[in-house]
Amino acid sequence: MFLYFSTFVVVIYLKIIICFRYLATGCSMRDLNHNFRIGYTTVRDIIHKTCLAIWENMRHTAFPELNEEKWLEIAKGFNENADYPNCIGAIDGKHIRVIKPSASGSLYYNYKNYFSIVLLAVCDADYKFIYIDVGAYGKCSDSSIFKHSVLHKKIVNNNLRIPEKTPISNNGIPMPYVIVGDEAFGLSDNLMRPYGGKNLTNNKRIFNYRLSRARRYIECSFGILANKWRIFHRPMDVRKELAIIIIKTCCVLHNYVRQKDGYRFQDTLEVPSELATPPGPPSRTSRSSASYRDLFADYFVNTNPLEWQDRVALG
């Protein structure tokens, strides 16, 4: 019995080593096939089942349910580290390079001229993902993926338990808690994007700079993810279903490592058409959303300016 148990433990340990080597080094399944002297299909099955087990057993720990207390904690992190009040996350999409799936046409061919699956994610100020959406076609834009995501539906239906509007200055107007994104996303009460165009006023240019300081956290999160799990350094030559599981697993492990090591990356970086869907009327920015953005801009310029922001944003 003891010998049987020991053999079982060794087999489990070996499977974990194979899976982690595949994710962390970016080696191919053929390399593992030769190095461990096991069949190619066996390697593929080990990676698939191990990744699936990690995702199923760790996703609730890595992505805890968001409530008002958690949102306030995230907002505190962005206010302290990015000087952006009432910010509850930074959102962006990352194209994960894949070998063209069979019979897929140009669905996975993106604007960067390669085939990809999109990872749409929202992160906090500690570079941990708080929401992910994996599996969209590379042809889709970040905005269209977001509009079809569960996150967007929950925001529209007020099911995210986001805190009530809070003033960001003494005797100020109550301001909504917002997620910050780039120009690809539409402006709404709970999602802030930069001002568009080139001929911007000083206030708008400073707002864009301050927003980019918060938005860069998602860019850094993607960079940390890709450099920790080097499977993202080459095209994934696997079926789409397996690629999605691998991406989800790496996001879970990313959060697990970020939480366990406790290491904070300092602010050393500066961040200087769609899948066929029924056409509809162009989305228009509500007046309240635009006015909230103007109030944020006024706050950054007059109430809480950074000593270097004029030199960086206007220089």
**pLDDT, tens digit (0-9, with 9 covering 90-100), for 182-208:** 998 989 989 999 999 888 999 999 999
**pLDDT, tens digit (0-9, with 9 covering 90-100), for 22-73:** 999 999 999 999 999 999 999 999 999 999 999 999 999 999 989 999 999 9
* pLDDT higher than 90, residue 259: no
**What is the greatest pairwise CA distance in the chain?**
77
**pLDDT, tens digit (0-9, with 9 covering 90-100), for 204-257:** 999 999 999 999 999 999 999 999 999 999 999 999 999 999 999 999 999 999
Q: Report d(CA 39, CA 22) in Å as an integer.
A: 15
CB atoms within 10 A of CB 283: 11
* pLDDT higher than 60, residue 275: no
State mean pLDDT over 159-186.
91
Give Cα separations from 281 to 7, 223, 231, 249, 278 (angstroms): 63, 36, 40, 38, 10
Task: Output the pTM of the full model.
Answer: 0.87
